[in-house]
Amino acid sequence: MSGIQVKGEVLNVKPVGEYFSMTVVAPGIAERSKPGQFVAVAVGGESGGMLLRRAFSIYSVRETGVYGGTVEFIFSVAGHGTAWLAAQRPYDPIDIVGPLGRPFALPREPANCVLVGGGYGAAPLFTLADSLRTRGCRIDAVLGASTGDRLFGALDAKRMAASVAFTTDDGSYGEKGRVSDVLPEVIERVRADVVYACGPMAMLEAVQRVASESYDGAGIPTQLSVEESMACGIGVCMTCVLPIIGNDGQTRMARSCVDGPVFGGDRIRWDALGTVPDDAVGAHQ
Amino acid sequence: MVDVTVTIRRRVEKPRHVNVDMTTKLGNLTAPDPVFTASGCAAAGQELAAYNDLTAIGGVVTKSIQLNPRAGRATPRMAETPSGMLNSIGLQGPGIEIFINRDLAWLADHNVNAVVSIAGGTVDEYAKLAGKLRGKPVSMIEVNISCPNVEDRGQVFACDKSAAASVVQAVKRAAPASVPIFAKLSPDVTDIVSIAKACMDAGATGLSLINTTLGMVIDTHTMRPLLAGITGGLSGPAIRPLALRCVWQVHQAMPEVPLFGIGGIRTGLDALEFILAGATAVQVGTVIFHDPGAPQRISRELSEALAERGMDAVEQAIGLAHRPPDVIVPELPDPPGDVLEDELYEDAVDEADVFAEDEWLEDQDV
Ligand SMILES: Cc1cc2nc3c(=O)[nH]c(=O)nc-3n(C[C@H](O)[C@H](O)[C@H](O)COP(=O)(O)OP(=O)(O)OC[C@H]3O[C@@H](n4cnc5c(N)ncnc54)[C@H](O)[C@@H]3O)c2cc1C
Ligand SMILES: Cc1cc2nc3c(=O)[nH]c(=O)nc-3n(C[C@H](O)[C@H](O)[C@H](O)COP(=O)(O)O)c2cc1C
Ligand code: FES
């Protein structure tokens, strides 16, 4: 199902650690959204020079309320577009398209799920946790970031999960190290059936390696949300591609905005990220 | 002291439903609307259907298709630039067979005008592609000649008169007889008019102006080109004046040739600029990434802009900016809130013989 375009209104923007949270009144998006989907937000105003929408994972939605449906996302100021967003104020108009992309696949039967978030990559894991819980799943979480300020959702995580492990690169919060350092122990301890993760590509690759080597190499499935540079977010421009192995075993350059952003970790050609592998359909023509 | 009475003249509420005939003729295709989507910016239409009624616009120009499936270039494939973007997709696509069976079939099922953009590396490939479209539900063929000619050291067809002409000629011969053929030109040439003429002499029905212009961005962190393909095509409002100039020059040289104006169109007024410069229709590309509902919005804004100027058909605006200085056409009524002295206003009315005053203006006492 495709998204809708809403001329919404900022409800609030507030700092959260090193990040910002923005809540937008955007009726229609909340009702349709599933965990793992994202919104694409126009930045810079109607006649501004920034043409491309910015993609953000949906952190939370509220279907009804005094203001109508709202959508909240968490962002870090990375460049001009996100700086503009951070400077918006309540009642400012904001043009938002969503929900977009393929959501996380959910287990049919109750399962033990480990949720791994890197930095603001934790944002989509909370609605996911809600859905998993209503299916009777056990949830454990691992959150990591470069520094303690950049960990997102520590309190939420403690509330939603049976256990939470934190890691930071500098040791300023939780264990010093990477999420992939503690993940093997968590998987074995909770007898995990599946790993869900969202964060930087290098983190996802490490998570995939750990998951596939778990249980003496038997491995468990993963659902990973990737972040590729996007121009349209709706599947028409072909800029957001990465090499993905299809059901027929063939590698194709798939669009992360409509075929993803969530992929099974075993479908991603980790050896060939950022390239078009020689064996991809239509390579080197 | 002279006593001056000033009257504020305000435009009355704009009519909600403007009745402008938006049909436009591109060879023997009569399109219901002059706004089309540009190749590579709308895939094959499906994804945009959620945001636009595609039967209400002129049609969808599909992503340039080649004979075989093609994976395209490595990433990063895009960079945002001031009022524009660079792309280096490398014509990723499924190949003509899947395209016909899946994408073209979808467009036909949904009654959307399909303008099929074709791209090849040799003259023969273009001809084969055109041949495959025989008997298929195709409203028009657009020939993307901004491709390297593999038989001529990668020289781009669109940059060479005779190469451009041989592609057009071969497509014309192989294509279904009644389907209009538009050649899409590159602005990266010294004399666009001579390339345009060569394509028309070779049998094109009309021309699409323009494709992207080559640009690049260097990443100051890595201190290397940002795009994996090093250079990329620049599009968006950044290229609008350049595109408009091309349309102007080609229309001036060949006023009878149907033209698509393409490049940086973001609003109905932008589209109107192209039409006034001589475009018969327009295509909108990069703006779709900003606003997926742009094709229909621009069409609506264009019809409103035409109505505001007292025109009841888009055809009346084509090439109007080229009119000689002594030809006077209705001009836009003054913007709301403008303060005018009565006499000045009367003069303007007499001279231009504009629309009935009460239709547009309402006296306001102060
Ligand atoms: C599916 C998805 C979900 C995302 N979720 C979040 C989130 O929850 N929180 C958050 O802070 N960020 C998220 N991002 C990254 C976010 O989109 C970028 O940080 C943002 O676009 C940067 O915009 P800018 O104008 O500040 O930076 P600039 O560098 O000025 O952006 C220039 C251009 O590059 C694109 N771009 C730059 N960096 C990225 C990137 N990392 N990913 C995609 N496009 C990029 C922008 O869209 C823009 O078109 C997500 C990206 C994707 C693809
Ligand atoms: C991402 C992208 C992909 C494009 N792909 C094609 C293509 O396959 N064939 C083609 O003829 N033009 C292609 N174009 C060029 C557009 O059709 C159009 O000519 C150009 O972008 C200028 O219009 P705009 O400023 O409205 O985008 C592409 C443009 C973009 C931005
Ligand atoms: S971002 Fe345009 S196709 Fe994915």
Whether the Cβ atoms of residue A149 and residue A231 lie closer than 8 Å to each other: no
Query: What CA–CA distance (Å, rounded) separates A264 from A205?
Result: 12
- Please indicate if any CB of chain B lies within 8 Å of the CB of A274: yes
Collapsing DSSP states into helix, strand and coil, what is residue B357? helix
Nearest ligand to residue B40 Cα: 2
B147, B159, B199, B246: which one is catalytic? B147
Dist CA B113 CA A224 (whole Å): 39
β-strands A138-145, A112-118: how paired? parallel
Q: Residue B3: its pLDDT value, please?
A: 45
The most distant pair of C-alpha atoms in chain B lies apart, rounded to whole Å, by: 82
Tell me whether A241 touches chain B (CB under 8 Å).
yes
DSSP SS3 for A6: strand
Which residues does residue A164 pair with via DSSP β-bridges, in sequence order? Answer: A141
Nearest to A9, CA basis, from A100, A123, A88, A98:
A88
Of residues A2, A95, A242, nearest to B50 (C-beta): A2
Site from A1, A51, A53 to mutate, B interface, most B CB atoms within 10 angstroms: A51
Residue type, B128: K
Nearest CA in chain A to B266: A47
- Whether residues A52 and B76 touch (CB distance < 8 A) is answered with no
Whether residue B339 is predicted with pLDDT greater than 70 in this model: the reply is no
Estimate to the nearest angstrom the gap between the alpha carbon of B95 and the chain centroid: 25
What value does the mean pLDDT take over residues A130-138? 96
Q: How far is B71 from chain A (nearest CA, A)?
A: 5
User: How sure is the predictor about A145, in pLDDT bands with cuts at 50, 70 and 90?
Assistant: very high
- For residues B28 and B178, the answer to whether their CB atoms sit within 8 Å is yes
Residue A109: its pLDDT value, please?
93
Nearest to A238 among B66, B89, B237 (CB): B89
Give the number of other CB atoms < 10 A from CB of residue A250: 11
Using the beta-carbon criterion (under 8 Å), do A5 and B51 form an inter-chain contact?
yes
> Chain A contact for B345, CB < 8 A?
no
Residue to mutate among A47, A102, A239, with most B CBs inside 10 A, is A239
**Predicted pLDDT of residue B283:** 98
How confident is the model over A59-83, as a mean pLDDT? 91
Question: If you count them, how many residues does chain B have?
Answer: 366
User: What is the band of B341 on the pLDDT scale with cuts at 50, 70, 90?
Assistant: very low
B163 CA distance to ligand 2 middle (Å): 21
- How confident is residue B5, by pLDDT bands cut at 50, 70 and 90? very low
What's the mean pLDDT in A193-206?
97
Q: Which residues pair with B182 in a beta bridge?
A: B142, B206
Cis-peptide into B32, omega within 30 deg: no
- Looking at residue B358, its pLDDT comes to 42
- Protein residue with least CA distance to atom 3, ligand 3: A235
Domains of chain A by start residue, with CATH: 4-100 (2.40.30.10), 112-225 (3.40.50.80), 229-285 (no CATH)
The tens digit of pLDDT for each residue in B134-189 reads 999 999 999 999 998 888 888 999 999 999 999 999 999 999 999 999 999 999 99
Question: How large a percentage of chain B has pLDDT more than 90?
Answer: 81
List the one residue out of A55, A45, A48, A60 whose CA is nearest residue A3: A55
Considering every ligand atom, which ligand is closest to the CA of A224? 1
pLDDT per position as a tens digit, A205-249: 999 999 999 999 999 999 999 999 999 999 999 999 999 999 999
Per the omega criterion (within 30 degrees of 0), is the bond before A261 cis? yes
Residue type, B29: L
- List the single range of B264-268, B315-319, B355-359 with lowest mean pLDDT: B355-359
**Integer-rounded Cα radius of gyration of chain A:** 19
In angstroms, how far is CA B63 from the centroid of its own chain?
15
Residues counted in chain A: 285
How crowded is residue A172: how many other Cβ atoms within 10 Å of its Cβ? 14
Query: Does any ligand 1 atom lie closer than 6 A to the CB of residue A74?
Result: yes
Q: State mean pLDDT over B325-353.
A: 55
Residue A266 binned pLDDT confidence (cut-offs 50, 70, 90): very high
Question: What atom of ligand 3 comes closest to residue A238's alpha carbon?
Answer: 3
Closest-CA residue, ligand 1 atom 32, reads B80
Nearest ligand by distance to the CA of A77: 1
Three-class SS of B8-64? EEEECCCCCCCCCECCEEECCEEECCCEEECCCCCCCCHHHHHCCCCCCCCEEECCC
Q: Kindly state if the Cβ of A81 falls inside 6 Å of ligand 1.
A: yes
Does ligand 1 come within 6 angstroms of the Cβ of A229?
Answer: yes
Beta-bridge mates of residue A60: A72
pLDDT of B2: 44
More confident residue, B315 or B366: B315
Q: Which residue has the higher pLDDT, B366 or B28?
A: B28
Which chain A residue is nearest to residue B44, measuring alpha carbons? A236
- pLDDT digit string, tens, across residues B192-248: 999 999 999 999 999 999 999 999 999 999 999 999 999 999 999 999 999 999 999
Write out chain B residues lying below 8 Å of A97, CB-based: 292
Mean pLDDT of B336-340: 50
Q: Is B159 a catalytic residue?
A: no
Position in ligand 1 atom list of the atom nearest CA A261: 1
Token code pair at residue A109 = 């039967």
Can you read off the two tokens belonging to residue B61?
């120009």
- Do A60 and A127 touch, CB atoms closer than 8 A? yes
Q: What are phi and psi of B219, to 5 degrees?
A: -80, 120
pLDDT: is B9 or B174 the higher one? B174
